[in-house]
Structure 1
Amino acid sequence: MQLLAVIILLGCSLSFCIGRTVEVDSYGRQQEVQETRTVTFINQRKSGACGLYWSGERVGSGPGLFYGPLAPNGGSREIEGFPGQVFVLVEAGTYDRLAEFTISEDQEQQFRVTDAHVPELLPTTTKTRETATECRSYSSSCEECMQVAGCGWSVVREGCFLAHPIATTSDKQECTDLGLPDPGSKSLDAWLNQANALVSAERDDLPFSLRTAYRILQHASLASQEANDLGRKKITVALTELTAKLDAVLDEQDAMELLEKSRHEELAKIHPHMPMVDRRTLAEAQAYIAQGKPVIITDAFAHANSRTSPVAHKWTLEYLRRRIFASNADPKPKFNVAADQQGRCCRYFESQGKAKQSGYPYPFAPSTHLYRDTFDGFVKTVRKAARLDSKKARVIHYLHEIVMDSHGKAVVAGGTAPPPLVADLQAVKATLEPIASDQPFFGGFANAKLWMGQRGIVMPMHYDSTDNLYVMAWGRKRAIIGPPGQLDALYRYPNAHPLVGSSQVNLSSADLEKYPNFQHAQLQEVIVGPGDILYLPAWWWHQFEQPFEDTAALNLWSRDRDQAPDPALRDKRVREHALFDQLEGALVQLFGNQTGLVLDARANNRKDHKQQFMSANRALILAAESWQKQAFRMPGGHPKAEVPASQLVAEFLETQKEVMRDTLPEWQPGTGWDLSQAAKLPRDLRERCEPAPETSPFMSYCG
């Protein structure tokens, strides 16, 4: 007898219906399989609304569906749910958990949250700290280190540390001498070829090969000073690349020491006590991810191998060059690269085509030069730079290319990806999707991007509107991050500006005379290295820096599931973005591409356009009042919903004073970008550079 499963709907939430499952046989007879239970959730707190979310059938998961707010003093909601389903009550407008409930087999159930319920504390990691301290005490002997549970030997540091899947070994075989012949017994190129063969090998235990290659290169570097100078430089470059792969962030003490020695002096004066983002095991990190809080996951690849964890275990510059992006295609695919002078590289900005469509409402003279090059060309560029004197002022380069599209398909330069990349990204998705599924409203990965760049790169403070898992392949990055909102403290560029989503403040040398509110910004700092994953929630500000060595990372942005509520509804901090968007939007509607000039005049209290000045005032006040009404009705409200609209307008205008401060008097809206200040490309790059059309979604110009 054939059975067909159907759903009979019993109750619907704001965005989701649940019911009971029945089976229908071939005669149309229904046989009930599982009945729903009537469940009532009650908020008995005296003050403070709650948000009610469904979290699937696994305790500790992030919110999946929104069932609306529960008002204080008895606000309630009755639903029909299945036994085993998990629901969570949070502080309204946040992901801070007050209580989690699992539906039982009882027919009718009530779950209450009272003033005794307070936001859950995040997990601590005392045991890991104790193990890390014990490991360091055995740094005098590789053999002794191997005998301590949870410890591993670092061939780069030559010391005992907390076990790391790539940077340390627990194999006693690696404590013994390799038995290599005299360094001068063969050419430096022969030593280099031997090491490169290990680096690009196809084997499950590739970290062992990487550490062996490192030891071979160390041995080769002892060759006589009379050896070929170019050969010695090649050995040094290869050794530097492997060091970046094998010298990780080994424990909390290591992270704090790295932060201390790389901190911006001026920033430290303004913000001397920035908390460090917590480093946690995967089991501990689940609570952070479910509540939308940033965290470093330290052991996600502890039990993986080169097949299941290719980014952490396999990816090096040489491996990518030989195995992934080696191309016989004609023409070879071109990758997006940014270039700028050391200390300025690199600012992300919207394409010139988008600015043209908006009528060029703001003047813009980028220093970052965007171009496209083959992967081999990029490798030659960075390796040539590594052989030169790094103390000289130089142009540095940052490759940034989408390698997985919105459909989850591997791509290279927008085209077909080679099979090895397809296999590697499938493995990455399989490993990371269970982690990402704890993100609030996770609906799958939106795309993935490869970032590769030289030491000295800084990507200035900005935010993205989607959750992000940031997986380091090699090198160590530091980042300065901050919670959503804070638009008045971090001085966001306007939406119509090419630097939309970025802060006007230069964090390395913040000018408090121009940006006085920056002293009130909430900031944290973090170090992420090979084998680490940084979970960076949506809308969090972040500035990535590379003060130690060249780096590479793969980041995977997420998309929300279809039934997800608007970000401003579930996170009240994001409502500040809506405020600024509405204020600017009101002016754009009135003045079009003249908005930049009008906004600048109004922010700096210039009345050279009297009629526009008055119209702008009225539009801004009306937009502020409209936002206040919306914010007041949202769960958890917003502090700015209760201040005078004129104050909101004044705070917004304060953030716009410097946007056009240095504009030349003759500039007018509609004037195209000034590219004369962009960093100059080296001659060999200019010769193979191909300019992109002005309307292209990417930029490539060849000056």
Structure 2
Amino acid sequence: MSTMETSKDDALYEYPFELTDVPRLSFDDPQANRLIANQKPVVLTGTNLVNSALHWDLNYLKDNIGNSLFTVYQSKNRYFRYYEPRKIPQHKDFKPPTLQAEMNFSEFVDKLKECQKTGIHKLYLQQLLFQNIGERIIKDFISFNWDWINQQKNLNRWGPLSSNLLLIAMAGNITSVHYDEQQNFLAQVRGRKRCLLFSPEQFECLYPYPIHHPHDRQSQVNLENLNLKKFPKSADLEGMQAILEPGDVLYIPVYWWHQIESLPQNGVTISINFWYKVRNFLEESITYPLTTSQKIAIMRNIEKMITDALGNVDEVGPFMQSMVLGRYT
């Protein structure tokens, strides 16, 4: 298990698999740059990336963020699993695990306080940060340390910044384990988060949903309750973990699985994602053998092509089995 320190009042759930600590390094440590260049997670300190936002709390945001509508997800439990609505028609028995609503920030704060009082529901605000926000928030946003993060983008030959996502979560909220197809800097603004990470090499151990499923890029495995009969390879899981404090920045490499939990001490957590597009793995100079990330990109492309060609998601599994059984087994 991890050696990460924690107090008795801040005891972390002990998962039934090995967890080692994500390296925690100063932003100017050469080893930090090497880890990023090699697409390995690292917690960066001293970046000053979001220092101009560290004074943000619910009251400040309520007074200054503006009157536009924000996307808020509601769950009956603490798990928030992403899903793609456009893929639901292909799965008639699928029931969205969360409800999505649009509300202004004042309405969100009122509903959040109600949920904190009753404990019936959990809320999670996820909103693009640059859309219709107030002048003071814009001033804070412009004052981010863009010089440093742009330098990282250029050093690592990433594509352009695709979005900044403002994340406001209730204590205990968990974003279920998934991977993204973009490079990600997760900057902590308020409260603390526990982040579990798994390398792309753990792909088979985490049993991702099919690409045509609404939960594409999500794991079918419940990390707190491993079902070894249904998902036997999950017994081989090995991960990493990090605790993010305000001002910390976690680099989450593309295709790295991650689960994010808001720790309960501060009522809510506030974070900001910096997502960068990746260059096409298959268009870059490829060296052999292929990296795991390149293999995943190829698998996704093949799976999507077959799904589109067949036009029926129920035929995808049998078709792919017929390609392999008796020929490669």
State the TM-score, normalized to the length of structure 1: 0.42
Q: Which amino acid aligns with 2:87?
A: A
Change (3 A) 1:578 1:599: same
Q: Is the 8 A contact 1:362 1:497 kept in 2?
A: no
For the residue of structure 1 that corresponds to 2:160, the secondary structure is strand
Q: What is the number of residues matched between the two proteins?
A: 321
- 2:51 matched to 1:309? yes
Change (3 A) 1:439 1:337: farther
Per the alignment, residue 274 of structure 2 pairs with: 556
- Post-superposition offset of 1:458: 0.7
- 2:201 matched to 1:460? no
Structure with larger RCO (C-alpha < 8 A, sep 6+): 2
Per the alignment, residue 340 of structure 1 pairs with: 75
Change (3 A) 1:363 1:577: farther
Q: Which amino acid aligns with 1:294?
A: P
Q: Which amino acid aligns with 1:261?
A: A
- Post-superposition offset of 1:532: 0.6
Per the alignment, residue 261 of structure 1 pairs with: 11
For the residue of structure 2 that corresponds to 1:257, the secondary structure is coil
Per the alignment, residue 576 of structure 1 pairs with: 295
Change (3 A) 1:568 1:505: farther
- 2:33 matched to 1:286? yes
- From 492, 500, 503, the equivalent of 2:216 is 500
CA distance in structure 2 between the partners assigned to 1:572 and 1:446 by the alignment: 24
- Post-superposition offset of 1:261: 1.9
Q: Deviations over 1:277-296 (max 9, x none)?
A: 01111112222222221111
CA distance in structure 2 between the partners assigned to 1:370 and 1:422 by the alignment: 26
Unaligned runs of 5+ in 1: 1-251, 328-332, 404-409, 603-614, 625-643, 648-703
- Post-superposition offset of 1:299: 1.9
Per the alignment, residue 240 of structure 2 pairs with: 524
Q: Is the 8 A contact 1:485 1:577 kept in 2?
A: no
Unaligned runs of 5+ in 2: none
Change (3 A) 1:439 1:464: farther
For the residue of structure 2 that corresponds to 1:524, the secondary structure is strand
Per the alignment, residue 87 of structure 2 pairs with: 355
Q: Is the 8 A contact 1:485 1:576 kept in 2?
A: no
Q: Is the 8 A contact 2:179 2:255 kept in 1?
A: yes
For residues 86-485 of structure 1, the aligned pairs below 5 Å read: 255-257=4-6, 261-264=11-14, 267-268=15-16, 271=17, 273-284=18-29, 285-301=32-48, 309-312=51-54, 314-322=55-63, 324-327=64-67, 333-343=68-78, 345-351=79-85, 354-355=86-87, 360-361=90-91, 363-386=93-116, 388=117, 393-403=119-129, 410-412=130-132, 417-428=133-144, 430-434=146-150, 436-437=152-153, 440-485=156-201
Change (3 A) 1:447 1:590: closer
CA distance in structure 1 between the partners assigned to 2:166 and 2:41 by the alignment: 21
Change (3 A) 1:337 1:577: same
- Post-superposition offset of 1:365: 1.0
Percent identity of paired positions between Structure 1 and Structure 2? 23
- Post-superposition offset of 1:380: 1.2
For the residue of structure 2 that corresponds to 1:498, the secondary structure is coil
Change (3 A) 1:517 1:529: same
Change (3 A) 1:275 1:364: same
Change (3 A) 1:496 1:568: farther
Q: Deviations over 1:216-236 (max 9, x none)?
A: xxxxxxxxxxxxxxxxxxxxx
For the residue of structure 1 that corresponds to 2:143, the secondary structure is helix
- Post-superposition offset of 1:475: 0.8
Q: Deviations over 1:353-400 (max 9, x none)?
A: x226xx5156311221111111001111222334x26xxx51010000
Change (3 A) 1:585 1:367: closer
Q: Which amino acid aligns with 1:400?
A: Q
Change (3 A) 1:435 1:552: farther
- 2:313 matched to 1:646? no
Q: Is the 8 A contact 1:311 1:471 kept in 2?
A: no
Q: Is the 8 A contact 1:289 1:535 kept in 2?
A: yes
CA distance in structure 2 between the partners assigned to 1:527 and 1:318 by the alignment: 25
Q: Deviations over 1:294-341 (max 9, x none)?
A: 11112223xx9xxx72123x211111111x3243xxxxx211111112
Q: Is the 8 A contact 2:310 2:316 kept in 1?
A: no
Q: Deviations over 1:470-523 (max 9, x none)?
A: 111101110111112433211011111100011000111111111001122331
Over aligned residues, Cα RMSD in angstroms? 3.0
Q: Is the 8 A contact 1:443 1:558 kept in 2?
A: yes
For the residue of structure 2 that corresponds to 1:460, the secondary structure is strand
Q: Is the 8 A contact 2:282 2:294 kept in 1?
A: no
For the residue of structure 2 that corresponds to 1:420, the secondary structure is helix
Q: Deviations over 1:63-101 (max 9, x none)?
A: xxxxxxxxxxxxxxxxxxxxxxxxxxxxxxxxxxxxxxx
For the residue of structure 1 that corresponds to 2:90, the secondary structure is coil
CA distance in structure 2 between the partners assigned to 1:445 and 1:538 by the alignment: 14
For the residue of structure 1 that corresponds to 2:82, the secondary structure is coil
